[in-house]
């Protein structure tokens, strides 16, 4: 069918109706095509159709000698429209649109501002020239979504920039800046213009006037390469990826470029792309991508302005307080840190100095910033009165409710009206802490994770009376400190530590019943965690769990199983890494240990005492039990409204507890495994221990109604019928 555009006719598929999202405008003899699909010009079906139609139009437009493709708004093009990946693919497919651009008989120039990512860079690679304006970035981040570039990126990039650059960019997914991109030959020119249209037009003029030969990436001859390079890259990438497939497949796709013709390479790339697009890993990583962006979207703070946040106070200069102060200082806030005496202040300052020094060494801060922090931004004091101007104060003192209440009484007396009063408690009742003040609406929990200047997670714990603008301020602080803030409700351990306690109990039961801590750690490493639970316990210090068990012992229910085998290690002064021995032995300060043989003896003794018949659980059974405990507790956390949505749990476990992102978090994982299977397992385990294995009502309800956690994320139905 022919469609009239201006005075020319051009051909597109019969079903096509232009959405007008790609405009076509002649600037003298240069056609400017502007992709306009806010917010990031994602390559939706409508954009692909429009782009294809405009390329046809340009090719037959005798008055246009060159074309420039630009993006409207903040970026060039951020890639394929990820939301469309769930739907059946409709023509024109992106690789075909890009081939059509490349086939053009006249030069097409991509003028890049902001970012050209994924399919956006692939569009640019299909153009005959690429110009970047200052500050632009280009990259192929598809691996972070569990896929690989699927529109020629793995075949064109190595031909244009060489295998080494392609092997650096594709498996890492990291974008690069203009000077790097120019040096690699990805950009032909870096413009001083800040306006991409002006930069593109100027470049087009020079191409027309100088008759610069058009370059098609598909026709470039790849440099010869030693096949060993790919083997080495695969090994290195697989080690880093810890089970994630896409970075390794990314290497394989680049290798294909070294072995076949462009056309064959494109076919293979498509096959690899489609296989990954249909994988659980892609579903999990897409879920993580959108969940990241959903975390701060909460009805209770929609349109609510946060309070002012310039100067903050931190009470307590131990590891946690000093870490929080470091994070605030590194992100431009002024901090007044309070300790009980000068000596403690000195120690706090030394910790902060070491943290900041480390950041300078890693290039995260400049030496000038370091000087400014210690000369201007950090104040140390033993006097609560110095907090009278603080906009927000975070208490990070000893984890004891009475101590915390005392601190809050003092804060209530000295802080200005409207100051936010936050506790960094990891377990305690924030409502009870708020109740000792005259202003419970200003009180909130801000639960940082140790080391606080490094760990990404921040639980924003909303107490019963916390005001909406205080919640908004908690999220704003997270943004300023570049943390991932998750809303949590008040309960023992909030979202993360409560779920942790549950799967740790399950792990202890697995060990008590015949497996070893090393079996459990191995299974969890294979699952994708960076460390297993017992290696983590050694790192955190076994004395912490010992103290908790001593507190808990008198409160046990009659049918509650209780595991004291780690106490036998603690009794010998073995507290984990810090003492060189725990579940593992750490020779000469090594960070990776070897199994401590005493653990086997301790376990054998305790099993004998408790008359436990050893079970021989397979790796799969260990994993099923461990994950069932995690998912069941997580479901209770959602059911009770402690986490608003399953996705809040998923992001908490990913950012705070090392859950592999490519599995999407425990709730996403549970959906993939099947909720019915998990529930059946829990019911089966309950036959042995019906105290611990009580199925979450939410889980039962979802199974009964045939719904999933993803349905809850999408707002399909209430969280639970049991929720009041």
Q: Looking at the annotation, which residues are catalytic? A: 122, 142
Q: Is 335 in the site for ligand TC6 (CB under 6 A)?
A: no
Check if the beta carbon of residue 514 is closer than 8 Å to that of residue 616: yes
Residue labelled with tokens 């060993």: 228
Stretch that binds ligand TC6, among 56-64, 148-156, 242-250, 506-514 (CB under 6 A): 148-156
Q: What is the DSSP letter of 397?
A: -
H or E, element range at 568: helix 565-570
Which is nearer to ligand TC6, 45 or 353 (by Cβ)? 45
SS3 583: coil
Question: Which tokens go with 317?
Answer: 């200069």
Among the listed residues 69, 94, 176, 396, the single contact to ligand TC6 using CB under 6 A: 94
Cα 603 from Cα 188, distance rounded (Å): 66
Distances 318 to 52, 61, 337, 453, 564 between C-alpha atoms, Å: 61, 70, 11, 13, 29
Question: Which tokens go with 631?
Answer: 């998912």
Which is nearer to ligand TC6, 118 or 478 (by Cβ)? 118
Cα 403 from Cα 463, distance rounded (Å): 19
Which is nearer to ligand TC6, 47 or 422 (by Cβ)? 47
Check if the beta carbon of residue 412 is closer than 8 Å to that of residue 421: yes
Smallest gap from Cβ 532 to ligand TC6, in A, equals: 31
Closest CA to 392 of 428, 418, 373: 418
Q: Which residues in 71-90 contact ligand TC6 (CB under 6 A)?
A: 75, 78-83
Smallest gap from Cβ 243 to ligand TC6, in A, equals: 20
Which is nearer to ligand TC6, 251 or 510 (by Cβ)? 251
Check if the beta carbon of residue 64 is closer than 8 Å to that of residue 58: yes
Stretch that binds ligand TC6, among 140-148, 161-169, 429-437, 597-605 (CB under 6 A): 140-148
Residue labelled with tokens 């993580």: 288
Check if the beta carbon of residue 366 is closer than 8 Å to that of residue 360: yes
Where residue 378 falls (left for φ over 0; alpha for ψ -120 to 50; beta otherwise) is beta
Alpha-carbon dihedral 349, 353, 355, 357, rounded to 10 degrees: 180
Q: Which residues in 150-169 contact ligand TC6 (CB under 6 A)?
A: 150-151
Q: Which residues in 209-268 contact ligand TC6 (CB under 6 A)?
A: none
Q: Which residues in 346-405 contact ligand TC6 (CB under 6 A)?
A: none
Q: Is 123 in the site for ligand TC6 (CB under 6 A)?
A: no
Cα 360 from Cα 500, distance rounded (Å): 34
Among the listed residues 92, 107, 118, 468, the single contact to ligand TC6 using CB under 6 A: 118
Q: Is 484 in the site for ligand TC6 (CB under 6 A)?
A: no
Q: Is 293 in the site for ligand TC6 (CB under 6 A)?
A: yes
Q: Is 115 in the site for ligand TC6 (CB under 6 A)?
A: yes
Which is nearer to ligand TC6, 81 or 459 (by Cβ)? 81
Which is nearer to ligand TC6, 79 or 317 (by Cβ)? 79
Among the listed residues 145, 272, 569, 642, the single contact to ligand TC6 using CB under 6 A: 145
Closest CA to 400 of 440, 446, 438, 432: 432
Smallest gap from Cβ 288 to ligand TC6, in A, equals: 12
Closest CA to 251 of 274, 272, 275, 278: 272
Smallest gap from Cβ 146 to ligand TC6, in A, equals: 10
Q: Is 344 in the site for ligand TC6 (CB under 6 A)?
A: no
Binding mask 29-48 for ligand TC6 (x = CB under 6 A): ----------xx-x------
Residues that bind ligand TC6 (CB under 6 A): 39-40, 42, 75, 78-83, 94, 115, 117-119, 141-142, 145, 149-151, 293
């Amino acid at each position: 069918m022919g469609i009239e555009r201006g005075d020319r006719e051009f051909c597109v598929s019969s079903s096509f109706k232009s959405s007008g999202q790609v405009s076509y405008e002649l600037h003298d003899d240069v056609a400017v095509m502007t992709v306009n699909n806010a917010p990031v010009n994602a390559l939706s079906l409508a954009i692909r159709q429009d782009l294809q139609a405009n390329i046809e139009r340009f090719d037959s437009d005798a008055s246009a000698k060159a074309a420039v493709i630009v993006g409207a708004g903040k970026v060039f093009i951020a890639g394929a429209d990820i939301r469309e990946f769930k739907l059946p693919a409709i023509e024109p497919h992106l690789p075909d649109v890009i081939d059509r651009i490349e086939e053009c008989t006249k030069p097409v120039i991509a003028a890049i501002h902001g970012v050209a990512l994924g399919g956006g860079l692939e569009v640019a690679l299909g153009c005959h020239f690429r110009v970047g304006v200052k500050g632009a970035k280009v990259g192929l981040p598809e691996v972070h979504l569990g896929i690989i570039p699927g529109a020629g990126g793995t075949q064109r990039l190595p031909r244009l920039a060489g295998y080494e650059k392609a092997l650096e960019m594709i498996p890492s997914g990291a974008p690069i800046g203009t000077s790097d991109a120019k040096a690699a030959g990805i950009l032909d020119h870096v413009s001083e213009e800040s306006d991409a249209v002006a930069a593109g037009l100027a470049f087009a003029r020079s191409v027309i006037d100088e008759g610069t030969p058009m370059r098609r990436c598909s026709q470039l001859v790849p440099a010869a390469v030693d096949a060993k390079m790919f083997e080495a890259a695969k090994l290195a990438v697989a080690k880093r990826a810890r089970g994630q497939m896409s970075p390794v497949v990314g290497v394989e796709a680049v290798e294909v470029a070294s072995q076949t013709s462009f056309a064959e390479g494109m076919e293979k790339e498509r096959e690899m792309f489609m296989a990954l697009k249909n994988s659980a890993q892609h579903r999990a990583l897409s879920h993580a991508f959108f969940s990241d962006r959903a975390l701060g979207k909460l009805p209770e703070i929609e349109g609510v302005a946060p309070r002012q946040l310039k100067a903050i106070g931190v009470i307590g200069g131990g590891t946690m307080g000093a870490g929080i102060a470091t994070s605030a200082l590194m992100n431009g806030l002024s901090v007044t840190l309070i300790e009980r005496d000068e000596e403690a202040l000195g120690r706090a300052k030394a910790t902060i100095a070491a943290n900041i020094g480390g950041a300078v060494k890693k290039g995260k801060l400049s030496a000038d910033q370091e000087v400014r922090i210690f000369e201007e931004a950090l104040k140390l004091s033993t006097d609560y009165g110095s907090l009278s101007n603080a906009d927000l104060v975070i208490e990070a003192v000893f984890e004891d409710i009475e101590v915390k209440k005392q601190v809050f009484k003092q804060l209530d007396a000295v802080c200005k009206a409207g100051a936010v009063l936050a506790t960094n408690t990891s377990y305690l009742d924030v409502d009870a802490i708020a109740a000792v003040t005259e202003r419970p609406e200003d009180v909130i929990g801000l639960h940082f994770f140790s080391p606080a200047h490094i760990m990404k997670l921040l639980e924003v714990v909303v107490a019963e009376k916390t005001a909406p603008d205080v919640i908004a301020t908690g999220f704003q602080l997270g943004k300023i400190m570049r943390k991932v803030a998750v809303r949590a409700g008040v309960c023992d351990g909030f979202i993360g530590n409560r779920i942790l306690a549950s799967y740790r109990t399950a792990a202890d039961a697995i060990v008590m019943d015949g497996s070893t801590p090393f079996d459990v750690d191995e299974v969890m490493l294979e699952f994708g965690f960076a460390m297993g639970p017992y290696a983590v316990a050694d790192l955190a210090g076994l004395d912490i769990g010992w103290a908790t068990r001593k507190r808990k012992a008198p409160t046990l229910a009659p049918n509650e199983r209780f595991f004291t085998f780690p106490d036998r290690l603690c009794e010998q002064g073995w507290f984990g890494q810090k003492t060189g021995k725990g579940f593992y032995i750490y020779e000469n300060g090594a960070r990776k240990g070897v199994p401590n043989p005493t653990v086997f003896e301790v376990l054998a003794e305790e099993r004998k005492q408790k008359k436990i018949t050893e079970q021989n659980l397979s790796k799969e059974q260990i994993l099923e039990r461990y994950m069932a405990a995690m998912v069941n507790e997580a479901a209770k956390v959602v059911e009770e409204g402690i986490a608003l949505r399953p996705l809040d749990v998923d992001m908490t476990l990913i950012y705070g507890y090392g859950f592999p992102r490519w599995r999407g978090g425990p709730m996403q994982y549970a959906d993939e495994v099947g909720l019915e299977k998990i529930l059946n397992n829990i019911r089966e385990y309950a036959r042995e221990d019906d105290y611990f294995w009580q199925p979450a009502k939410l889980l039962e309800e979802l199974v009964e109604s045939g719904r999933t956690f993803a349905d809850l994320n999408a707002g399909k139905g209430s969280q639970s019928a049991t929720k009041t």
